[in-house]
Structure 1
Amino acid sequence: MTEPSVLVETHGAVRRLVLNRPEQRNALGHATIERMLDLFAEIERDAGVHAVILAGTGKGFSAGADLKEAKNLRDEAAIAAHAELMSRLLLAPWRCSRPVVAEVQGFALGAGLGLALACDAVFCAEDARLAFPEVRHGMVPALVAPSILARVGHARAFEILATGREIAVARAAEWELVKAVPAEFVAREAMGFASEVAAVPPHLVAALKALLRTAGSLDPEAAMEAARGANVAGKLTGLRAGASA
């Protein structure tokens, strides 16, 4: 029987999605991406899931896009379809109403690192390899650019993406991209954090994520207006919940 490309584990209110293509370094191929998107859609429909963990089997988290598949994209329509699919995956943790935690062991490269950085928190082994090596493969690191730009600003994002150099985990932690953890404790720390936020009422977490998504792209006055709206909506939701209890 063929192993699934993504393993699904349930730990109470925490759903753990594990990339499972170890021989391909958990590369994000077409079928894997579609499966991940289906699983995120299922999570949105499952009221019992309050938090999500993304992880990888084998020696690392993910080496990024499946380069063998990418080499077979020979026309504009195929290239555009692949870009659309990958962009949906890289937005999935950001769009998810549940908190999403990345558990990074071994390596996270290219779109694999982009996927991790789209999460709400990243627990990363101190000896992990992190990089956006797209330029070294003759590709523009386009789809990963928004997430790294939002986190570190133009100058640093340009340096990281234009050189393709590895980012030391200690430096990534200094830039607040990841939380560095001894390798043997990464899974435990990720699960502990996910379980902690899973205990928060889901509607509060969903409202907070929605506010952070909105406010992060606004000027201070517009951000505060969005915050006021979220404050009122959150309190009204709480009142309605109390009235129906």
Structure 2
Amino acid sequence: MSELETILLRRDEAGVATLTLNRPEARNALSVALMSELDSELARIARDPAVRVVVLAANGPAFCAGHDLKEMRALQGRDEVAAVFALCSRVMTAIVRLPQPVIAKVHAMATAAGCQLVASCDLAYAATEAKFATPGVNIGLFCSTPMVALSRGVGRKQAMEMLLSGRPINAGTAERWGLVNHVVAAEALDSEVASMARLIASKSAHTLKVGKEAFYRQLEMGLDDAYALASKVMTENMLAMDAAEGIDAFLEKRPPVWRGC
């Protein structure tokens, strides 16, 4: 098995695809190879109707330490540096654009682009011991790309505090600020994430897809345009087969049988 096959692991079970960052010796730093694997795997998942939910996890003492700084320092010239940040942005955007919901399972420290990775996911669960930081300012490199996801996940002043100070916040603060949904004991993290993943996977894949897409599109709109989009999406959703089945099942007091359309 090659390095490219081992730095990112995938396990599928009952409609849930778990992607696990597997560079524990490098604190799961986002090397070009790892980001390329993530990019490719997300593209495959987007085309896989059997996958209803994605869980993003990591092995080792950290969730993700951000970019691989040794690799970054070895880059030659503007074009090589720009290509790395373009790849990173593509991966983060792919998570947001993915038809399936993505849950971050954060067991430990997530810093810089690792924090960006968490903020880009639709949901995030964290162990009590987890911490989050955008510490680029400490080494003369403002976390500008992590800023995009972070500023869309927490309040402006909270995001600026993290970006300007570089100080880590604990899991409880991350929960209060909205960066993560729930904080649980480390030993309960797997079961809590699995429970939520199973719950979401039980829903109509078609409904999840149209709803997730509409959620992110309307965030960037003014109020009138957002309601116009939402009304259009709900009209199309209402006419879908899964909506008819869901309503009939509710009225008939039986479980729905989703068709994915």
Query: What range is the shorter-chain TM-score in?
Result: over 0.9
TM-score by length of 1: 0.95
Gaps of 5+ in 2: 246-258
- Equivalents in 1 of 2:178, 2:156: separation in Å? 16
Aligned match of 1:97:
99
Which of structures 1 and 2 has the larger relative contact order (alpha carbons within 8 angstroms, sep 6+)? 1
- Equivalents in 1 of 2:242, 2:183: separation in Å? 40
- Equivalents in 2 of 1:75, 1:239: separation in Å? 52
Alignment of 1:98-113 (within 5 A): 98-113=100-115
Aligned match of 2:217:
214
- Equivalents in 2 of 1:228, 1:241: separation in Å? 17
- Equivalents in 2 of 1:155, 1:77: separation in Å? 33
- Equivalents in 2 of 1:239, 1:77: separation in Å? 47
Number of paired residues?
Answer: 243
- Which one of 67, 71, 74 corresponds to residue 72 of structure 1? 74
Moved over 3 A (4+): 239-242
- Equivalents in 2 of 1:239, 1:133: separation in Å? 45
- Equivalents in 2 of 1:51, 1:235: separation in Å? 22
Gaps of 5+ in 1: none
Task: Give the secondary structure class of the aligned counterpart of 1:180.
Answer: strand
1:195 partnered with 2:202: no
- Post-superposition Cα deviations, 1:67-110, rounded to whole Å, max 9, x if no partner, equal 11111123111111111001111222111110100000121111
- Equivalents in 2 of 1:86, 1:191: separation in Å? 27
- Post-superposition Cα deviations, 1:21-68, rounded to whole Å, max 9, x if no partner, equal 000011110010000111001101111101000000112211111111
Query: 1:240 offset after TM fit, Å?
Result: 9.4
- Equivalents in 2 of 1:184, 1:149: separation in Å? 30
- Is residue 158–residue 177 contact of structure 2 (8 Å, CA) maintained in 1? no
- Equivalents in 2 of 1:202, 1:82: separation in Å? 33
Alignment of 1:1-80 (within 5 A): 1-3=1-3, 4-80=6-82
- Equivalents in 2 of 1:144, 1:157: separation in Å? 10
- Is residue 136–residue 166 contact of structure 2 (8 Å, CA) maintained in 1? yes
Please provide the CA RMSD for this pair: 1.6
Percent identical across equivalent pairs?
33
1:204 partnered with 2:207: yes
Alignment of 1:102-141 (within 5 A): 102-141=104-143
Query: 1:116 offset after TM fit, Å?
Result: 1.1
- Post-superposition Cα deviations, 1:105-161, rounded to whole Å, max 9, x if no partner, equal 121111111111111110001111211111112212111111111122332211110
AA aligned opposite 2:150: I
- Equivalents in 1 of 2:106, 2:242: separation in Å? 39
AA aligned opposite 2:93: L
Aligned match of 2:227:
224
AA aligned opposite 1:203: H
AA aligned opposite 1:221: D
Aligned match of 1:88:
90
Task: Give the secondary structure class of the aligned counterpart of 2:145.
Answer: coil
TM-score by length of 2: 0.89
